[in-house]
Structure 1
Amino acid sequence: MADSARVAAIELGGTKCIAAIARGRDILSRERWPTRPPAETLPTILDWIAEAAAGEPLAAIGIGGFGPLVVDPADSNYGKIGSTPKPHWSGFDLRGAVAARFAVPIGFDTDVAGAALAEGRWGAARGCGTHVYVTIGTGVGAGIVVDGKPLHGASHPEVGHIRVRRDPADTFAGACPFHGDCLEGLVSGPAIAKRAGKPAEQLAPDDPLWDRVADEIAELVMTIMLTVPPQRIVIGGGVGSNERLLPRIRSTATARLAGYGPGSDAAAIERLIVSPGLGDDAGPLGAVALALAAAE
């Protein structure tokens, strides 16, 4: 029944927001806005949903938001955004703002957890009980799905802020306001722009910085492989979708694993590390997947 439910979806990203109305996985309508302070952003989104959904009740709403989020329902701050460098968003009650407007079940998680659910339900991770979706764009994050549910504990995964081995010749201090040269401070879009002195999309395909970025992402991939370990790692996002990166990430991970453990050979890693099956729709369909899970 949930696969035919009519739901609304909100993908709240660091630079853009997308809202959609869907029936099952089929997106019927959508709209996009730049991410501004919450007092400007949320009313616009919720007004659009109310108008677009008029005439037929919604079964649920899914919210996939940039982190950090408080995702433990037992926490008194459940539904709020944690400490973030994005102005005006720290402490904002994202789930509460939606619940105050719409009296329907609400699925609430990080945007990457939603995208991971969507890739497992419809995309490149179908049939995998344990899989990971990594997004590399304005920030770096990962959704880890185990037995069909996003992995949560005291919080949600924050793999973008781990530190990785770097080229000893690289003296870049990093761009993360919290940790400097954590992974997000090295390979996110803003970090690449700071390293290169120009936006990532203006870098030549053969710029050597891409190799350095790929090697640093490979360090993350190795960490995930050795700790989770997943049956599939899907890498997306504005930076992650750069076609130059994936082959280098695979080859670097293979070389550095040095044959340790099952699934560490080149053929297995090529099957393990893949591009999103849902393309640019992984984000909005992630929020749809959260809505369908709430409806279920």
Structure 2
Amino acid sequence: MSKFGGIDAGGTSWRCAVFEDKDSILARTSFPTTTPAETLARAIAFFNDHKDKGLAVSRIGIACFGPLAVNPASPRWGHILATTKPHWSGTDVAGQMAAGTGCPIALETDVTAAAFAERAWGAGQGLDDVAYVTVGTGIGAGIILGGRAVWGTMHPEAGHMRAPRHPEDLAFAGVCPFHGDCIEGLASAPALLARWGMDASQLPDDHPAWDIEAHYLAHLAANLVLTTAVKRVIFGGGVMARGGLVERVSAKAKALIGPYGTAAPGEGGFEIVGAGLGLDSGLLGALWLAEQAQS
């Protein structure tokens, strides 16, 4: 049976695995995202070490943080573009992994790969039109319409859209180095830390942070539904592990749209749900990429 490699290449950490299939992980590791040279060297060493142990992979799927050049026709395919992550702009992730391991590479953004995994095995099963949103170190959205990933001049960067400010959050400048108070700048994990002086996991359930957080994420979800007509928006990432946050976002997004269009009675509506694959959406998305490229 063919074995596949998967990398969930996040802005905070990388997770690497050797798979037979989604239910059979033969080896895995994780490590912090540091410099490009150090991080890529650790990923290459993982696959080469396991090749020597009889666990050679036929292809490696990479679900990578971005912005990322994802169009195979681009001479910069597989490169990270101008990013908020220090030192990573211009890094040729796909090329260096291919050269270091000798394996063909399949690559997509982490959120688009996660969207495909959720559609195949998680909360998006049975749907051709879904969006997956991650809320963690950054905020991003992978969009699938008609069963195909959406990208044109670049892949979607929905986390950098604007939203009306919450009335109790007018003074916070935001943390995005490109846009200041875009949704990522206001609702990502670094934004929560900068605004409140503590990590999201330390904020109590009744803290006003969560109403503000739900406000911005609801605007993001409502905009995705109104602009792409997806039937389901799936939220994942570390911040979304907070109990009740998905439900808050759903209620606010539906209130924002009201009885218009897809939300009208009898029109089928839309759903906002949590990730069915939990924190493994990205890693399983990398597997999905490798399997699809192989076939």
TM-score (norm 1): 0.94
Q: Is the 8 A contact 1:105 1:295 kept in 2?
A: no
Give runs of aligned pairs for residues 246-285 of structure 1, distance below 5 A. Answer: 246-264=246-264, 272-285=271-284
Deviation at 1:56, TM superposition (A): 5.0
Quote the offset at 1:44 in angstroms: 1.1
Q: Which residue of 2 aligns with 1:155?
A: 154
**2:68 corresponds to which residue?**
69
Residue correspondences, number = 292
Distance 1:263 1:53 in 2: 51
Match of 1:97 in 2: 96
Would you say the 8 A contact 1:254–1:264 is kept in 2?
A: no
Counterpart of 2:123?
124
- Superposed CA deviations along residues 107-162 of structure 1, whole A, max 9, x for unmatched, are 11111111111001111101100111100000000111123332111111101100
Q: What secondary structure, in the 3-state scheme, does the structure 1 residue paired with 2:224 have?
A: helix
Say which of 14, 17, 20 aligns to 1:17. 14
Aligned to 1:289: 288
SS in 2 for 1:239: helix
How far 1:193 moved relative to its partner?
0.7
Shift of 1:276: 0.9
> 8 Å contact 1:5–1:24 — kept in the other structure?
no
Q: State the SS of the aligned residue for 2:107.
A: strand
Tell me, what secondary structure is at the counterpart of 1:22?
Answer: strand
**Structure 1 residue 268, shift from structure 2 partner:** 6.3
CA contact (8 A) 2:163 2:182 kept: yes
User: What percentage of aligned pairs have identical amino acids?
Assistant: 44
**1:102 CA displacement:** 3.2
Deviations 1:228-248 (A, max 9, x none): 111211101011222231121
Distance (Å, rounded) in 1 between the aligned partners of 2:47 and 2:58: 13
User: Match for residue 29 of structure 1?
Assistant: 27
Q: CA deviation at 1:39?
A: 0.9
- Structure 2 residues not aligned, in runs of 5+: none
The alignment yields a C-alpha RMSD, in angstroms, of 1.8
Residue type of the partner of 2:45?
D
| Greater relative contact order (Cα < 8 A, sep 6+) | 1
The alignment partner of 1:30 has SS state of: strand
Amino acid at match of 1:58: V
Residue of structure 2 equivalent to 1:232? 232
The alpha-carbon deviation at position 219 of structure 1 amounts to: 0.3
Stretches of structure 1 lacking an aligned partner (at least 5 in a row): none
**Preserved contact between residue 210 and residue 244 of structure 1 (Cα < 8 Å):** no
User: 2:167 and 2:211 mapped to 1: Cα distance?
Assistant: 14
Q: TM-score, normalised by structure 2?
A: 0.94
- Residue 206 of structure 2 aligns with which residue? 206
Which 4+ residue blocks in structure 1 deviate beyond 6 angstroms? Answer: none
State the match for 1:189 in structure 2.
Answer: 189
CA distance in 1, matches of 2:56, 2:146: 30
Contact 1:114 1:286 in 2 (8 A): yes
Q: Letter of the 1:94 partner, please give it.
A: V
> 1:103: how far off?
3.5
Alignment of 1:133-148 (within 5 A): 133-148=132-147
CA distance in structure 2 between the aligned counterparts of 1:136 and 1:264, rounded to whole angstroms: 28
